[in-house]
Amino acid sequence: MGRSFPGIMGFIMAIIHRKSREIQCKIVYYGPGRGGKTTNLLMIHKAIGNRARGELISINTAGDRTIFFDFLPMDLGAVKDLHVKISVYTVPGQVIYNDTRRLVLRGVDGLVFVADSLEIRRRQNIESLKNLEENLQAIGSDISTLPMVLQYNKRDLNGGDSPILSLEEMKNDLNPCNRWPALAASALYGEGVKETFKKICMMTVVDVCRQLLEN
């Protein structure tokens, strides 16, 4: 049976399975509805080899869905004889599913905030980031203590019919103090998707292992 272990800097949320000698880290993709969270996960799942990934599972709601899968990275090694396993989740984007968002966030070890580059989605980006912080507080967590990567998605729409925000505008809205690493991306075409995922995986595993080794 899995357990969470208290650490010096708070609680290690990662689940440790002693029988299978695994430490399971949870990464959640968060952001406004139709911003590209699901597209990111579909791209990632497709890119991971069949031997390493688990089944892609979708939980459908009336107007949105949560999807998730597990995988066992081959190149992250082990810590204290425990193999690292990573579970990846999205949250529903629509506000009416806020309770589901909180449920998915429970036990989170790392976050990717997927922001929409379209100008008309500017307010939704800001509100969604604020909502993330509030939901973490509601479940007893703190955005400032979790590894997080910002992804500025839909950069492929630059020059199209729908105006997009500049990277500088998005930075000023969401990351003015450079609290988090940020990457430009086009999830639809796979650009920046693997880079975002690799970054959050490494940040999350380093943070979880640091806490585990302190105990």
d(CA 86, CA 210): 16
pLDDT at 3 over 50: no
> What's the mean pLDDT in 99-116?
95
| Non-local CB neighbours of 140 within 8 Å, separated by 6+ positions | none
pLDDT at 106 over 60: yes
> What's the mean pLDDT in 126-137?
97
pLDDT at 58 over 80: yes
3-210 CATH pick, 3.30.565.10, 1.20.58.1180, 3.30.450.60, 3.40.50.300: 3.40.50.300
The pTM assigned to this predicted structure is 0.88
- pLDDT at residue 212, as a whole number: 77
- State the average pLDDT for the chain: 86
